């Protein structure tokens, strides 16, 4: 059985499935009448593809599998989910500062005493291994949410249900370990919550968003989204900003002409991925929308190829993805907020945008403003505070 189907059946008693029909020449109505009874609710049939999409319980799934002359295959149907890394590999512990942290010039702000100390960064992901040496003392708060977005009580110890969350968490706020530095803001605190492993539902993510506001987070780093354009989170993203939280979301890993929500909202700082040579990664999503505000996503790109960060346990691993680029920008925002605690969401965002430079290997349609730089961002923030416009405001 597909892993997705078994996960869904275990979590909810039903599973969303794609049914590949054997003979697509048969009339849609005949196919529907033959397999429709196995679904809870009416399945959607795509006659040109010869597939049906719908929800089944265990009995329905068994029934579909018996219809061997009509049904060729039953697979899981993923939708809302993590923006999975396109590559992951265990690596030896890195020496010194990782290339990504270096590329955005974070060490230059460390030299000025800025580490993100006192700033809480919201981190909604698969969880975090707080016992990893690079994350010791970094997790200020941890929570898990159930399918209706309620806090699981008693609160479990910080743990990662996957590997993704530990990797992204350490890129935001990883502490130095024996000269190894994987975190952009090594003094920042994380408000980390499990919202996305198995049985992904909107309320879990909202529960996490609500909680990070309550934990006084100034930034929300979220490397997850729905493929395509869905406006379901727009009002909520507005409210995050109104509550003083800068939303930093991954744009997706499906390449040019694609994007994910909420990473494609104009209200979010949308992050694409670049490699160490300064090229936009092939997998990094980009898309232009017909809207006045911020039509092109991502807003910027950050290191997202061969990013070495913590793996659950004591190890490290290298991953590729816009999920890996996003925490670099969230960490940068934490450094800026430490420098200017009274700055607004718009000011921090504009300072980051003003610091971006499009490299010679980057096409604007793919990289938009380009790669941010911590030193220029701090200068831009100072200029904005002094009354200079400094950067084009996203919000009118």
Q: Which residue ranges make up the site for another protein (CB under 8 A)?
A: 8, 12-16, 37, 40-42, 54-55, 57, 59-60, 77, 79-80, 147-150, 201-203, 206-207, 209-210, 213-214, 226, 230, 232, 235-236, 239-240, 242-243
User: What is the spatial distance between Cα 166 and Cα 154, in angstroms, rounded to a whole number?
Assistant: 22
Sign of CA dihedral 132, 133, 135, 139: positive
Catalytic, 323? Answer: yes
Residue of 270, 284, 323, 355 marked catalytic? 323
- Identity of the residue, 247 or 390, whose beta carbon is nearer to another protein in the bound complex: 247
**Where are the alpha helices (H) located in 114-196, listed in sequence order?**
164-173
For another protein, the closer of residues 53 and 382 by Cβ is 53
* SS3 call for 272: strand
Query: Is 132 tagged catalytic?
Result: no
Q: Between β-strands 296-297 and 51-57, what pairing exists: parallel, antiparallel or unpaired?
A: unpaired
Strand bridging mode 189-194 / 139-144: parallel
Taking alpha carbons only, the member of 1, 2, 4, 45 closest to residue 27 is: 45
Residue 246 in tokens = 């800068």
* Catalytic residue flag (residue 238): no
Among residues 76, 310, 305, 62, which one has the least CA distance to residue 181?
A: 310
CB of 232 to another protein, least distance (A): 5
As measured in angstroms, the least distance from the Cβ of 35 to another protein is 14
- Least distance (Å) from another protein to the CB of residue 37? 8
Annotated active-site residue in 8, 123, 125, 167: 125
Give, in order, the Cα–Cα distances in Å from 243 to each of 125, 194, 215, 218, 240: 21, 22, 12, 9, 5
DSSP per-residue codes, 340-392: -TT--HHHHHHHHHHH-B--TT--HHHHTT-B--HHHHHHHHHHHHTT---S-
What's the alpha-carbon Rg for the chain, to the nearest Å?
22
Closest CB to another protein among 12 and 20?
A: 12
Smallest distance from another protein to CB 348, Å: 17
Nearer to another protein, 44 or 87 (CB): 44
Compute the least distance from the CB of residue 40 to another protein, in Å.
Answer: 5
Among candidate residues 132, 164, 167, 328, the one labeled active-site is 164
Q: Which is nearer to another protein, 345 or 362 (CB)?
A: 345
Residues that are catalytic: 125, 164, 323
């Amino acid at each position: 059985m597909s892993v997705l189907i078994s996960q869904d059946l275990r979590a909810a008693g039903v599973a969303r499935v794609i049914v590949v029909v054997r003979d697509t020449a048969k009339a849609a109505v005949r196919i529907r009448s033959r397999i429709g009874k196995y679904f809870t609710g009416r399945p959607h049939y795509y006659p040109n593809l010869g597939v049906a999409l719908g929800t089944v319980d265990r009995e329905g799934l068994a029934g579909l599998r018996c219809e061997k002359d009509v049904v060729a295959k039953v697979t899981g149907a993923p939708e809302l989910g993590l923006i999975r890394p396109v590559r992951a590999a265990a690596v030896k512990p890195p020496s010194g500062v990782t290339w990504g942290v270096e590329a955005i010039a974070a060490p230059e702000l460390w030299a000025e005493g800025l580490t993100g100390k006192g700033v809480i960064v919201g981190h909604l992901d698969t969880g975090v291994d707080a016992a990893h040496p690079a994350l010791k003392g970094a997790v200020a708060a941890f929570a898990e949410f159930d399918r209706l977005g309620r806090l699981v009580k008693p609160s479990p110890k910080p743990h990662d249900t996957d590997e993704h969350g530990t990797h992204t968490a350490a890129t935001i706020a990883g502490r130095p370990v024996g000269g190894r530095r994987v975190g952009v803001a090594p003094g920042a605190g994380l408000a980390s919550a499990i919202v996305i492993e198995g049985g992904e539902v909107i309320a879990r993510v909202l529960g996490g968003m609500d909680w990070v506001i309550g934990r006084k987070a100034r930034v929300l780093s979220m490397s997850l989204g729905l493929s395509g354009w869905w406006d379901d989170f727009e009002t909520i993203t507005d409210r995050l900003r109104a509550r003083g939280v800068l939303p930093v979301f991954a744009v997706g890993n499906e390449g040019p002409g694609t994007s994910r929500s909420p990473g494609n909202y104009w209200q979010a700082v949308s992050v694409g991925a670049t490699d160490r040579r300064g090229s936009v990664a092939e997998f990094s999503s980009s898309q232009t929308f017909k809207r006045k505000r911020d039509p092109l996503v991502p807003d910027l790109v950050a290191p997202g190829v061969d990013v070495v960060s913590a793996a659950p346990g004591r190890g490290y691993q290298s991953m590729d993805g816009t999920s890996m680029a996003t925490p670099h920008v969230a960490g940068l925002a934490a450094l800026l907020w430490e420098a200017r605690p009274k700055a607004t969401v718009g000011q921090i965002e504009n300072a980051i945008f003003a610091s971006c430079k499009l490299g010679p290997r980057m096409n604007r349609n793919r990289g938009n403003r380009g790669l941010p730089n911590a030193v220029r961002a701090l200068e831009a923030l100072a200029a904005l505070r002094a009354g200079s416009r400094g950067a084009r405001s996203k919000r009118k």
